[in-house]
Structure 1
Amino acid sequence: MLLSVSRDGRQRLGTQIETQLRGAIREGRLRAGARVPSTRDLACQLGVSRRVVVEAYAQLAAEGYLTLRQGARPCVAETVRGRVLSSPGAGVPAATPRFDLRPRTPDVSAFPRSQWLRCLRDALRTMTNAEFGYGDPRGAEALRSALAEYLGRVRGVAAVPERMIITNGYSQGQGIVCRALAARGARRIGFENPSHPEQRRVAERAGLEIVPIAVDQAGVRLDELERADVDALVLTPAHQHPTGAVLTGERRRGLLTWLRRRDAIVIEDDYDAEYRYDRAAVGALHGLEPDRIVYAGSASKTLAPALRLGWLVVPARLLAAVTDEKDLADCGTASVEQHAFATFLARGELDRHLRRMRGRYRSRRDLLLDELARALPEATVRGVAAGLHATVELPEDYDEHAILDQARRRGVTLMTMRDFWIPPGTGAPTLLLGYAQIPIPAIPTAVLALTDAIRSTRQR
Structure 2
Amino acid sequence: MTDSWATFGADLHLDRVAGRGLRAGLTEALREAARSGRLAAGTRLPSSRSLAADLGIARNTVAEAYAELVAEGWLTARQGSGTRVAERARPRRADAAAPVRRPARRGPAYSLVPGTPDLAAFPRAAWLSAARRALTAAPNDAFGYAVEARGRIELREALAGYLTRARGVYADPARIVLCAGFLHGLTLLAGVLRARRVREVAVEGYGLHFHRDLLAREGLRTRPLGLDGEGARTGELTAGSGAVLLTPAHQFPTGVALAPARRAAVVDWARTTGGLILEDDYDGEFRYDRQAVGALQGLDPERVVYLGTASKSLAPGLRIGWMVVPPGMVEEVLAVKGATDWTSSALEQLTLAAFIESGAYDRHVRGMRLRYRRRRDELVAAVGERAGVPVGVSGIAAGLHAVLELPVGAERAVVQAAAWHDLAVHGMGMFRHPGVVGRGRDALVVGYGGPSDSAWGATLAALVAALP
Q: TM-score range by the shorter chain?
A: 0.7 to 0.9
Give the equivalent residue in structure 1 for 2:177.
Answer: 165
Alpha-carbon distance in structure 1 between the residues aligned to 2:415 and 2:385: 21
| Aligned pairs for 1:227-376 within 5 A | 229-327=240-338, 330-375=341-386
DSSP-derived class of the 1:268 partner: strand
Q: How many angstroms does 1:201 deviate by?
A: 2.5
* Counterpart check, 1:175 vs 2:190: no
Aligned to 2:8: none
**What is the rounded CA distance, in whole Å, between the counterparts of 2:245 and 2:277 in structure 1?**
6
* Cα distance in 1 for residues equivalent to 2:362 and 2:111: 27
Tell me how far apart the structure 1 counterparts of residues 91 and 196 of structure 2 sit (CA, whole Å): 56
Q: Deviations over 1:95-153 (max 9, x none)?
A: 351x3212121122222211111111111111111232213111111111111111011
Which has the larger displacement, 312-321 or 30-39? 30-39
For 2:224 and 2:454, the matched residues in 1 are separated by 40
> Which residue, out of 438, 441, 457, partners 2:451?
438
Query: What displacement does 1:37 show?
Result: 8.2
Shift in Å, 1:428 = 2.2
Q: Does the Cα contact within 8 Å between 2:203 and 2:222 map onto a contact in 1? A: yes
Shift of 1:287: 1.1
Distance 2:391 2:39 in 1: 51
The answer to whether structure 1 residue 94 and structure 2 residue 112 are counterparts is no
Which segment is superposed worse, 355-364 or 206-215? 206-215
Give the counterpart of 1:210 among 219, 222, 230.
222
Give the secondary-structure state (helix, strand or coil) at the position aligned to 2:261: helix
The secondary structure found in structure 1 opposite 2:331 is helix
Tell me if structure 2 keeps the 8 A contact 1:5–1:46. no
CA contact (8 A) 2:267 2:303 kept: no
Task: Name the Cα RMSD after superposition.
Answer: 4.0
Partner of 1:458: none
* Aligned AA (2:123): P
- SS of residue matched to 2:136: helix
Q: For 1:395, what is the secondary structure of its paired residue?
A: coil
Name 2:152's counterpart in structure 1. 140
| TM-score, length-scaled by structure 1 | 0.80
Give me the whole-angstrom Cα distance separating, in 2, the residues matched to 1:342 and 1:270. Answer: 19
Larger Rg: 2
Tell me if structure 2 keeps the 8 A contact 1:136–1:332.
no
The runs of 5 or more residues in structure 2 that have no matched partner are 1-10, 19-24
Asked if the contact 1:137/1:332 (under 8 Å) is kept, the reply is no
The aligned counterpart of 1:199 is 211
Do the aligned partners of 1:32 and 1:81 also contact (CA within 8 Å) in 2?
no
Find the counterpart in structure 2 of residue 454 from structure 1.
467
Counterpart amino acid of residue 320 in structure 1 = E
Q: Report the more deviating stretch, 155-164 or 199-208.
A: 199-208
Output one character per residue of 1:43-94: Cα deviation in whole Å (capped at 9) or x when no partner: 999999999xx99xx9xxx9xxx976556555998769999xx9xxxx9763
SS at match of 2:433: coil
Question: Does structure 1 conserve the Cα–Cα contact (< 8 Å) formed by 2:119 and 2:452?
Answer: no
- 3-state SS in 1 of match to 2:237: helix
How far has the Cα of 1:34 moved from its partner?
10
Cα displacement (A) at 1:204: 2.5
Match of 2:202 in 1: 190
Could you say if the C-alpha distance between residues 453 and 267 of structure 1 is closer, same or farther in structure 2, counting changes exceeding 3 Å? Answer: same
Distance 2:87 2:210 in 1: 41
> Post-superposition shift, 1:441?
7.4
- Select 1:428's aligned residue among 422, 438, 441: 441
Gaps of 5+ in 1: 456-460
Say which of 381, 394, 416 aligns to 2:406.
394
Q: What secondary structure sits across from 1:226 in the alignment?
A: coil
The residue number in structure 1 matching 2:7 is: none
CA 1:451–1:328 in 2, change beyond 3 Å: closer, same or farther?
Answer: same
Amino acid at match of 2:214: V
Give the letter aligned to residue 435 of structure 1: Y
Residue in 2 aligned with 1:120?
Answer: 131
The residue matched to 1:358 in structure 2 has which SS? Answer: helix
**Bigger helix fraction:** 1
AA in 1 matched with 2:275: A
1:32/1:79 contact within 8 Å kept: no
Deviates further, 442-451 or 174-183: 442-451
Aligned-partner residue type, residue 209 of structure 2: P
Instruction: Indicate the residue corresponding to 1:152 in structure 2.
Output: 164
* Deviation for aligned residue 1:161: 0.4
